[in-house]
A and B are shown apart, each in its own frame.
Chain A
Amino acid sequence: MDVATTLPKLLMIAWLLPLASFAITSLGYSVPQFLGIRVRYSTQVYAAYIAIGAIVLGFVLSCIALFGCWLPAHPLTAASHEGGEHAAAQEHATTSPSLFRYVAQHEAQEAASHAEEHNNEAPPYITGDWYALGIFGKLRLTIGYYIDTLTVTMFAMVTLIASCVHIYAFGYMHDELHDYTDHEVHLADGEHLHRRGRFHRFFQYLSLFSFSMLGICISGNFAMTFVFWELVGICSYFLIGFYIERQSASTAANKAFIVNRIGDFGMLIGLMTIWSTLGTFNFGDMKAADGTVVPGVFSQLHRPENHYRIAPTDSMIAFEGRNQIAEAIRKAGSTEPVAMEATVKAEVARLRAEDGTKWGHLLLFVAGVGIFCGCVGKSAQFPLHVWLPDAMEGPTPVSALVHSATMVAAGVFLVGRSYPLFSAEALLVIAVVGCITLFIAATIAVTQYDIKRVLAYSTVSQLGFMMLALGLGGWVAGLFHLITHAFFKSLLFLCSGSVIHAVHSNDMRHMGGLRKKMPITAYTMLVGCLAIAGVGVPFLAGFSGFHSKDAIVEQALSHWHHNWADGFSWLLFVVPVFSAALTAFYMFRLWYLTFAGEPQDHHRFDHAHESPRSMTGPLVLLAVFAVIAGWGLPSFAPGPFANFSIPNLLEQARPIGTLASKPGVYLSDLFIPSEHIAHAPEMFRPIKLPAGLAAITAAIVGIFLATVIYLWKSVSAAKLAAAMQPLYQLSWHKWWFDELYDFIFVRPVHAISAFIAQVMDRGLIDGIIHTLAWIARGCAMVVSTGGDRWVIDNVVDTFAEKTWNLGLSLRSLQTGRLRQYVMFIVVCTIVLFIVASVWRIAVAGP
């Protein structure tokens, strides 16, 4: 079987299964409900079975795709530090079935050997179109696929976590299987809201959500990504607003949706830049119908003649240097098309060579930052991070899915996917935004008491870590953290859901001592906390978070090492390490407050119980993954499992031209170091050792402080808070971001709207309309009283009255007697004759 044909089909089925589930449940449940038929609860259960079946089957297919198709065709190599990547690329090239490579392999080798530092060419991938939505001139909007190692890995991860969440939700959402009383909704009459359960609808949305996320993963071009991007947005809107009757839920859903739109606006700008300068949306090189290869976005920017380094295309340079080109054409004086084209080419070449390579870089920067804007919204980065904590209003399984595998992962995934697009400056923007985000979120999480809110801020913070890693050149590190984080964060959320299910409260001050009541939840959550804190033995093994966080810190240190001279790059190392300590601190604070110590609320404690098996099962499974996700298999493991580890997988997926370091263009000091520099043996002492020690020290310090304060209670938390009152207030009020946005954006908008409503609408437009209406009414009144009532009504009334009277008078003639009628006829005939005769005699003469 050919991998190039099998794999897209496999993944397409895995992708479309949740859609089928959504369609079936829509037709089977929502349509009847819309028509007013009540779906029985015993029937609603089947919606869950359908959705779970679809996603589990999708997971099985993804595993087959990964281990059965992809890895046998593209075996992994052990991560070697020098030249390993090059060898791997070479090996992939010989085994790859990809037809779309546009450079012969030996040429690439030659080009690379001339470079001062080797760079990688495109990883093995399979791309193509399934269906063209529309073709507008050059623009092709298609549903296509771009399958590389990253796609396959994401598929396996997303379907695995979605399966766990689906199964977990089957237990968690059981309340919806009977008529539901929402205690958080107070109706006008003081009663709580009673409504029908909507079990099926939840699973319907979950299916659509999974489908959308898988669509982003498999998407073959930016346009399709954007479509599914928005689909993910609308699904999150539905799910966050699942308890739509609650004011807070509907507000949170709106907030998530609106904040995301802001980011998507930037993304649209990025997409426009890409299309107008590169003329395509495809990621990979696509073979056209006539056999010619149409280069995709990535290979246009990373051309072999530049040693796969990022370089603006001719069209970008031509756009930015249009004045120079016009000048050159004027000088050449020829208006022949061929000559003009030659002039343009020569001028572009001159501009490219001139003054470094600054021409065209601005567009590149705009495209990169534009795409990143979308990711800022979706992944809740610094200016737009405010929606994610509010998204806790949705049911907990949704939070788990949103926070790990789908919504927020989509942003990081897209940065990873479009990584070849980012110039050094754009990467710096990403890193700085990530750094700010991770610090702010970590500080806020320290003081919150809502268990889901703490987790939400920790998600924001961890997403900041990913963005920081990606921005500092650590492509593998960032996506590695994305995957490990997906495991332990979904685990943490599902555990918190289990706790909330048991005590019916989100507030940690109502919990405490719960580990005796619900041991499975407590210890799986402990595993999650250890994983997110990044506990492990340096250079040996640890929880999954340890490996990925270690890689990030290493990359940060590497960056500092290479940008020693500038004044601020140390911040990009120190702040993450400090935040890592904060992470460990607040996670263990959460665990101690919830599970350790004495019960705070005995009533709730007495009612607490371990969750059903459908909920604890996924917990245990995810806990296992949270431990081992960072580990790797040795090279002698059988078949496709040889060298299997997530970093190795990602190393194989490394996008074109991202291996080499990227020097800045505008910021000449800037140097985004290659990820492999830190792994070099000679760098062990300056980078790897301090980074590893810093990471583990931060984790241990954080855990130790939390233990001191919340387990041993040697230091009173309240006193500590009082001592650092300003800082505590800053954290407690979430840096006043909501208030700030309210003041800067919401209030002015309200004020302007109110002004426009009052002056423009009510005053001007309403005034005109009212005047017109008044005039029309006056005319109508004149016509009504003068014409209608008087003339027409009088005529009609008189006529009716006369008819009525005539009828009354003629009534007496109608005796109902047949014989009299005959007599009438005869008499009338006689009378007629007589009249006629008299007439004849009188008028015409005898």
Chain B
Amino acid sequence: MTQLTLASILTQPVGVSHYLIVGAVLFVCGALCMATKRNALGVLMGIELVLNGANLNFIAFGSPYLRKASETMGLDGQLMSLFVIVLAAAEAAVALAIALNFYNSFNTIDVDRADQLQG
């Protein structure tokens, strides 16, 4: 097991796990963003971050440089991430439309005010 030190990272190629950790950071940041922002647009940005983290994972699993060629997903990972990007764009458009509608209706952008569905 290779030591995860700064030096060893600088001198050796990185692996899937490094990418996964970066993805995890983005993912957790996105989730926290969703959990803490009261602004609806902030929540949206959190979602973008989460999707990005996931995307990074797909790329990492599909990359030929990060692990043995026999194990990689090849182009499948990249195609998946392409789809995710496209869907994220669509989702952003719809979510933004919803947010604007919400803003028009309630004259606020605070998601805590949108609690009409509470039990």
Contact = CB atoms under 8 A, between A and B. Distances in A.
Contact of A814 (B35, B36, B43, B117): B117
Interface string B76-119: 00000000000000000000000000000000000110111111
A331 interface: no
A812 interface: yes
Contact of B118 (A814, A822, A825, A826): A814
B31 interface: yes
Interface in A790-835: 810-819, 822-823, 825-826
A812 B112 CA distance: 16
Contacts of B43: 818-819
A811 B35 contact: no
A813 B31 contact: no
A819 B112 contact: yes
A814 B118 CA distance: 5
B34 interface: yes
A811 B114 contact: no
A810 to B, nearest CB: 7
B1 to A, nearest CB: 16
Contact of B115 (A811, A815, A823): A815
Contacts of B34: 819, 822
B114 A812 contact: no
B119 A810 contact: yes
Nearest to A823: B35
Given A822-B31, A826-B31, A816 B36 contact: no
A812 B118 CA distance: 8
A818 B39 CA distance: 11
A823 B37 CA distance: 12
Nearest to B30: A822
B31 A811 contact: no
Interface in B7-28: none
A812 B38 contact: no
Contacts of A813: 119
A495 B41 CA distance: 102
Nearest to A826: B31
B112 A817 contact: yes
B115 A819 contact: no
Nearest to A824: B35
B17 to A, nearest CB: 17
Contacts of A810: 119
Contacts of B38: 819
A814 B34 CA distance: 18
B118 A815 contact: yes
Contacts of A811: 119
A819 B119 contact: no
Interface residues of B, number: 15
Given A826-B31, A826-B35, A819 B118 contact: no
Interface string B55-78: 000000000000000000000000
B118 A816 contact: yes
Contacts of A816: 114-119
A822 B35 contact: yes
A680 B82 CA distance: 128
Nearest to A814: B119
A826 B28 CA distance: 9
Q: Which of A810, A812, A816, A822 has the most CB of B within 10 A?
A: A822
A822 B47 CA distance: 11
A147 to B, nearest CB: 89
A814 B116 CA distance: 10
A814 B119 CA distance: 5
Contacts of B119: 810-816
B111 A819 contact: yes
Contacts of A815: 115, 118-119
A817 B36 CA distance: 11
Contacts of B35: 819, 822-823, 826
A826 B46 CA distance: 13
Interface string A463-501: 000000000000000000000000000000000000000
Nearest to B116: A816
A817 B43 CA distance: 12
A819 B37 CA distance: 8
A818 B31 CA distance: 12
Contacts of A812: 119
Contacts of B37: 819
A823 B32 CA distance: 8
A817 B114 CA distance: 7
Residue in A814, A818, A823 whose Cβ sees the most chain B Cβ within 10 Å = A818
Contacts of B111: 817-819
Nearest to B119: A814
User: Which residue, B34, B35, B38, B116, has most C-beta atoms of chain A within 10 A?
Assistant: B35
A357 B37 CA distance: 126
Nearest to A813: B119
A832 to B, nearest CB: 15
B115 to A, nearest CB: 3
Contacts of A819: 34-38, 43, 111-112
B28 to A, nearest CB: 9
A816 B34 CA distance: 15
Interface string A283-313: 0000000000000000000000000000000
Give 7 closest A-B pairs by Cβ, nearest first: A816-B118, A814-B119, A816-B115, A811-B119, A822-B34, A822-B35, A818-B111
Given A814-B119, A822-B34, 17 more contacts: A810-B119, A812-B119, A813-B119, A814-B118, A815-B115, A816-B118, A817-B115, A817-B118, A818-B43, A818-B111, A818-B112, A819-B34, A819-B38, A819-B111, A822-B35, A823-B35, A825-B31
27 contacts: A810-B119, A811-B119, A812-B119, A813-B119, A814-B118, A814-B119, A815-B115, A815-B118, A815-B119, A816-B116, A816-B117, A816-B119, A817-B112, A817-B115, A817-B118, A818-B43, A818-B114, A819-B34, A819-B35, A819-B36, A819-B43, A819-B111, A819-B112, A823-B35, A825-B31, A826-B31, A826-B35
